[in-house]
A and B are shown apart, each in its own frame.
Chain A
């Protein structure tokens, strides 16, 4: 892979964005001294173009566009190994959450739309049913992602074992959940929450 030179300039050093990441994650990126322990234990590092320690380094340098343009944040499994092992208490798993949220908000230039699609459907299910309806989750995902044949072999077996329910579980108290979603939207509109 050809390495692009990293240009540090005031345009690419967007400190406001990094402050937002710090506020959302409750962690300071300046604490990191690049020991690499987070990346050493990260099960997903091999799938990422910027392993966890480099994500923090890029944030320190205000180069967040480079992170959002890649797949690293969407390949993080939220396993918390990095946060657990960091000697400086950098809460990297929360930084990954914050970066995903900001990228999601901006509909950023992510190539990892499958992961976002799965997340979006999952949250939609909560709003509609209050609980997960796995059969629908899998079916809609396969249709929307164009992977009609994916997991076709697993389907019948799972249904016969009672693992994929044909009918969904629905919470009886759906007005409550709708209110929660609504109030959060309202707070964001009014600038009361990030």
Chain B
């Protein structure tokens, strides 16, 4: 057996993880500690601009991302990103700036520094499945999630855009399923795993979000899933926080817990509910976890 290599990362949590998605941050830190993976938060990181910035001002969006890449240079190791939107923005910016001399010159002027083009931006999924590796992960599992049927939800941004070197196959990714199988869970085949939840319309057009997220919840239920797993705070907001509202509009009941990947994998490695922020979930996951004997 090859000796275990020490894994250390610069950590970019992004705004949501410091606010509405606190349980994603908490469970990430706890899981990584448990797996012996070092995380050091990038000092003074800024908002990446998410969708609103690139929606109307590409130069601003690229500059904010470049500034964060520059700040991340202070910490040793690849950059670990938890939010799918931050991940997609940072990766895309790096790609666009490597391709276009004009844009790179503009951005370097805006941030008054060279843009690090070769630093490695990695989503947590990538770190778990490839850097740590599925075998290592399986060895860390002490409480397999036996009997839990999970619908893995990718949403839009984890694997897109295509031209940016990315996480997994753009139309048929399996990385989430692979990780969950290593954690002992069952995964269901379902139709909506990459459909859009309406993410950035949650404030301005909640009606759109309700319609799209309803289709996702419906599809997961139809496939016989007990719960949904996500790796993005925006997807989580729409599917978990708005679930009651969606049930009201469509006069139906899902009671479908929506977990972050780090929460489910955390459970499998023996971390307790308090270390994973399970009480912060709006749809109470406890009845399901008790029924399956997982808590």
Interface residues of A in 139-181 (CB under 8 A from B): 141, 150-151, 153-154, 157-158, 161-165, 169, 171-173, 176-177, 179-181
- The interface residues of chain B lying within 8 Å CB-to-CB of A116 are 56
* Partner-contacting stretch, out of A3-11, A31-39, A125-133: A125-133
A115 in contact (CB, < 8 A):
yes
Q: Does A123 contact B (CB under 8 A)?
A: yes
Chain A, residues 67-86, CB within 8 Å of chain B (1/0): the string is 00000000101111101100
**Contact A184-B112, Cβ < 8 Å, known A134-B19, A141-B203:** no
A118-B204, A141-B203, A187-B109 known; A79+B64 contact, CB < 8 A: no
Binds B, one of A12-20, A50-58, A96-104: A96-104
Cβ–Cβ contact B46 & A171, under 8 A? yes
Contacting pair B110 A184 (CB below 8 A): yes
Chain A residues with Cβ below 8 Å from B106 are: 187, 192-193
- Report the bound CA distance from A132 to B64 in whole Å: 13
Chain B residues, Cβ within 8 Å of A98:
58
22 A–B pairs (Cβ distance < 8 Å), ordered by A: A77-B201, A78-B51, A78-B156, A79-B196, A81-B160, A119-B52, A123-B56, A126-B53, A132-B19, A132-B50, A134-B16, A135-B19, A141-B203, A141-B204, A153-B245, A154-B242, A157-B282, A162-B280, A163-B22, A169-B15, A172-B44, A177-B67
Are A44 and B208 in touch, CB under 8 angstroms? Answer: yes
Asked whether, in the complex, the Cβ of B56 is within 8 Å of the Cβ of A119, the reply is yes
Please tell me if B60 contacts chain A, counting CB pairs below 8 Å: yes
Tell me if A101 and B57 are in contact (CB < 8 A). Answer: yes
Min CB gap B44→A, angstroms: 4
A75 and B208 contact, Cβ closer than 8 Å, known pairs A118-B203, A164-B19, A177-B46? yes
Indicate whether A43 reaches chain B with its CB closer than 8 angstroms. yes
- A78-B54, A123-B49, A154-B241 known, 12 other contacts, Cβ within 8 Å: A80-B157, A84-B170, A104-B56, A118-B203, A122-B52, A126-B53, A126-B64, A131-B18, A158-B20, A163-B20, A176-B67, A180-B67
User: Is B212 an interface position by the 8 A CB rule?
Assistant: yes
Query: Is B47's CB within 8 Å of the partner chain A?
Result: yes
Contacts of B280 on A, CB cut-off 8 Å? Answer: 161-163
> What residue of chain B has the Cβ atom nearest to residue A86's Cβ?
B162
Binding site for A on B (CB under 8 A): 15-16, 18-22, 44-47, 49-60, 63-64, 67, 96, 99-100, 106, 109-112, 156-157, 160-163, 170-171, 195-196, 198-201, 203-206, 208, 212, 241-242, 245, 279-280, 282
In the bound complex, how far is the Cα of B241 from the Cα of A154, in angstroms? 8
A93 to B18 alpha-carbon distance, docked (Å): 29
Min distance, Cβ B227 to any Cβ of chain A, angstroms: 18
Whether A187 lies near B110 (C-beta < 8 A) is yes
Bound CA span A47–B209, Å: 12
A15 to chain B minimum Cβ distance, whole angstroms, is 21
Bound form: Cα–Cα A169–B51 in Å: 20
Task: Say whether A80 contacts B156, CB under 8 Å.
Answer: yes
B112 contact set on A, CB distance < 8 A: 179, 183
Q: How near does chain A come to B248, taking the closest CB pair, in angstroms?
A: 10
Residues in A neighbouring B22, C-beta threshold 8 A:
162-163
Do B46 and A130 touch (CB < 8 A)? yes
Q: Are A100 and B56 interface neighbours, CB within 8 A?
A: yes
Q: Does A40 contact B (CB under 8 A)?
A: no
| Inter-subunit contact A193/B59 (CB<8 Å) | yes
The chain A residue with its CB closest to the CB of B54 is A97
Partner of B60, one of A123, A133, A138, A163: A123
A78-B55 CB under 8 A given contacts A126-B64, A180-B67: yes
Given A138-B203, A193-B106, check contact A184 B60 (CB 8 Å).
yes
**Contact partners of A184 in chain B: CB under 8 A:** 59-60, 63, 110
Interfacial chain B residues near A153, Cβ < 8 Å: 245
Given contacts A77-B196, A141-B203, are A123 and B57 in contact (CB under 8 A)?
A: yes
List residues of chain B with CB within 8 A of the CB of A79: 156-157, 160, 196, 199
Contact across chains for B18 and A83 when beta carbons are under 8 A apart: no
Which residues on the A side are within 8 Å of B56 (C-beta)?
Answer: 97, 100-101, 104, 116, 119, 123
Q: List residues of chain B with CB within 8 A of the CB of A134.
A: 15-16, 19-20
Please indicate the chain A residues that have their CB under 8 angstroms from the CB of B282 in the complex: 157, 161
Name the residue on B nearest A26 (C-beta): B100
* A163-B280, A180-B63 known; A114-B204 Cβ under 8 A: yes
